[in-house]
């Protein structure tokens, strides 16, 4: 079974101080100096792929990211963890934040170039764009089913997976035959293992396959044609409340203040 994992590393937005959430004239937030982390849903997807590989030796694992050269650092980790092939598609100067259609087009063209995959495995949404569209768009372009909010995967045979996923009716498990797009949601398997130093030194040095738009028969100019929404404005969300600091010499004193000033009343009202 040929599995292609699509992933993204993204700036750790949680550590950007509140005053920095100011867009520039191009409606961008300066995040280049923030450390990169795996997108949490993509990380689950990558970890699930490695888990599948443990269950069946007949699985080949590829990973694709659309990212500038810095994205290759993550690929060294993936090689060290046992991925067979890592591909970086250079986005040039394209703003990918709100362009899931373009990203899906790139992914599908790559799939065609690589003569198809049985399973596309990716996280459900990114932090910046929060578009939640890429998995569905890939499935539609490739004319294959899409299972969303995947929480667990197991290998049944060469072409079949047992897929657990969340839906409105509850948690569901079903057997799915490839080809399929799987969009990973809140999965309990959420962290990639840490590769050994030895694996990093050996496997981690495998070369990353690099592609440009031209390799997929596209040009940077065509990116805009794929998008249906135009970004008009970006404003910080204000969450401020009139905060009061509660202090005390001992935990008892603090607890007493919290209880008498906030909690007792709420408990009485709740009765």
Partner 1 sequence: MRKFLILNGYGAGASASVSRATAFFKSSWPGEVPERCLLLCPDEATASGLAGRIPWSRVTAIVKKIYDPEPILGLLARDTASDGLYIFGDDPDSAGLAARLYGRCGGSACIGVCAAEEKNEKLFLRKRVYSHHMEARFLAEKLPCFAALAKGLPTDGETENGPSTPEMIVLEDEDTEKEIIFQEDGDGDSLETAKLLVAGGNGAGGPEGLACLQELAACMGAGFGVSKPAAMGGWAPLSSMIGISGTLAAPELCIAAGVSGAAAFFAGIEKSGAIIAINTDPEAPIMGHADAVVQGDYKEILPELIRLIRQDRSLL
- Binding of partner 1 at residue 112 (CB under 8 A)? no
- Binding of partner 1 at residue 262 (CB under 8 A)? yes
Q: Segment 7-46, which members bind ligand FAD (CB under 6 A)?
A: 14, 40
* Residue 77 contacts which entry, partner 1, ligand FAD, none (Cβ below 5-8 A, type-dependent): none
Backbone Cα Rg of the chain: 22
Long-range contacts formed by 216-220: CB under 8 A, 24+ apart: 216/89, 216/106, 216/109, 216/110, 216/113, 217/109, 218/105, 218/106, 218/109, 220/92, 220/93, 220/94
Question: Residue 40 corresponds to which tokens in the numbers above?
Answer: 């949490």
Q: Segment 141-160, which members bind partner 1 (CB under 8 A)?
A: 141, 145-146, 148-149, 151
Query: Rounded to an integer, what distance in angstroms lies between the CA atom of residue 51 and that of residue 81?
Result: 11
| Nearer Cβ to partner 1 (129/195) | 129
- Binding of partner 1 at residue 34 (CB under 8 A)? no
- Among residues 16, 27, 29, 127, the one that binds ligand FAD under rule CB under 6 A: 127
Q: How far apart are the first and last CA of the chain?
A: 58
| Nearer Cβ to ligand FAD (132/196) | 132
In degrees, to the nearest 5, what angle opens at C-alpha 43 toward C-alphas 210 and 197? 75
| Nearer Cβ to ligand FAD (125/183) | 125
Q: Segment 215-234, which members bind partner 1 (CB under 8 A)?
A: 227-234
| Nearer Cβ to ligand FAD (1/184) | 184
Least separation in angstroms between residue 124's CB and ligand FAD is: 8
- Among residues 83, 98, 102, 213, the one that binds partner 1 under rule CB under 8 A: 98
* Residue 255 contacts which entry, partner 1, ligand FAD, none (Cβ below 5-8 A, type-dependent): partner 1
List CB contacts of 34: < 8 A, sequence separation 6 or more: 11, 12, 13, 15, 16
86, 95, 115 from 217: Cα distances, Å: 20, 19, 15
Q: Segment 119-138, which members bind partner 1 (CB under 8 A)?
A: 127-133, 135-137
* Residue 30 contacts which entry, partner 1, ligand FAD, none (Cβ below 5-8 A, type-dependent): none
| Nearer Cβ to ligand FAD (143/244) | 244
Binding mask 10-29 for partner 1 (x = CB under 8 A): ---xx-x-x--x-x-----x
In degrees, to the nearest 5, what angle opens at C-alpha 116 toward C-alphas 111 and 122? 60
Least separation in angstroms between residue 41's CB and ligand FAD is: 7
List CB contacts of 37: < 8 A, sequence separation 6 or more: 9, 10, 11, 12
Query: Rounded to an integer, what distance in angstroms lies between the CA atom of residue 257 and that of residue 263?
Result: 9
- Binding of ligand FAD at residue 125 (CB under 6 A)? yes
């Amino acid at each position: 079974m040929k599995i292609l994992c699509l992933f993204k590393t993204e700036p750790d937005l949680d550590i950007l101080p509140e005053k920095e959430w100011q867009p520039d004239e191009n409606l961008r937030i300066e995040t280049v100096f923030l450390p990169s982390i795996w997108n949490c849903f993509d990380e689950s997807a990558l970890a699930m792929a490695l888990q599948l590989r443990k269950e069946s030796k007949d699985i080949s694992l590829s990973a694709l990211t659309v990212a500038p050269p810095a994205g290759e650092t993550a690929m060294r980790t993936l090689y060290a963890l046992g991925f067979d092939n890592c591909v970086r598609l250079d986005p040039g100067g394209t703003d990918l934040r709100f362009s899931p259609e373009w990203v899906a087009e790139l992914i599908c063209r790559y799939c065609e170039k690589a003569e198809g995959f049985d399973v596309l495995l990716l996280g459900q949404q990114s932090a910046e764009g929060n578009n939640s569209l890429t998995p569905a768009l890939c499935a539609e372009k490739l004319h294959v089913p899409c299972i969303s909010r995947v929480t667990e995967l197991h290998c049944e045979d060469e072409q079949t997976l047992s897929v657990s996923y969340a839906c409105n009716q509850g948690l569901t498990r079903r057997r799915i035959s490839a080809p399929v797009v799987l969009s990973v949601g809140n999965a309990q398997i959420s962290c990639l293992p840490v590769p050994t130093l030895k694996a990093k030194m050996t496997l981690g040095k495998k070369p990353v396959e690099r592609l440009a738009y031209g390799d997929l028969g596209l040009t940077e100019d065509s990116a805009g044609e794929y998008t249906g929404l135009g970004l008009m404005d970006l404003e910080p969300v204000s969450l401020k409340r009139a905060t009061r600091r509660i202090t005390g010499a001992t935990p008892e004193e603090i607890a007493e203040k919290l209880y008498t000033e906030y909690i007792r009343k709420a408990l009485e009202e709740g009765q």
